[in-house]
Amino acid sequence: MTGSLTHFDATGAAAMVDVGAKAETHRSATAKACVVMLPETLALIRAGDARKGDVLGVARLAGIMAAKRTAELIPLCHPLAITSVTVDLAPVGDDTVEITATVRLTGRTGVEMEALTAVSVAALTVYDMVKAVDRGMRIEGVRVVAKSGGKSGDFQQE
């Protein structure tokens, strides 16, 4: 474990971290998630035959929009001036869509929550767009795989 919990004050009450004295640095975070589905469902997505349209394109946009609104969704997150969000969705094998989001900014706090929110909402969007044909889909492996910048330094998941 690296350090103490920062979102609590001296009395144990939830509190927003004061980042005013921190130096602005270039920061980035990358998160991943997977949506596991029936092979027939992924074939439908690959062919572009889903009734609701371009599943991967819509999910990409949903992920980008979600990253930008993270502070509205997660209590105690700071509203951030994000400079870049990329969300990539790629079929893997015959039954999985892998989602990767990278968020960047120059600021006083990291963007891990924004990257996690992006992959989560993109995965939920994939589910929503094809749930009519596959209610058994699973969203798995939501995690931060890399981060850079800030006082705590760099992190890379092995």
Residue 29, classified by CB atoms within 10 Å of its CB into exposed (0-12), middle (13-18) or buried (19+), is: buried
Q: Annotated catalytic, 128?
A: yes
Other beta carbons less than 10 A from residue 8's beta carbon: 13
Provide CB contacts within 8 A for 46, sequence distance 6+: 91
60 vs 48: CA distance, rounded Å: 15
The alpha carbon dihedral of 10, 16, 18, 157 has a sign of positive
- 121: tokens are 């909402």
Instruction: Considering the candidates 49, 128, 134, 154, report the single residue annotated as catalytic.
Output: 128
Nearest by Cα to 64 from 104, 18, 7: 104
Q: Can you tell me the distance from the alpha carbon of 151 to that of 85, in angstroms, rounded to the nearest whole number? A: 22
Q: Known catalytic residues? A: 128
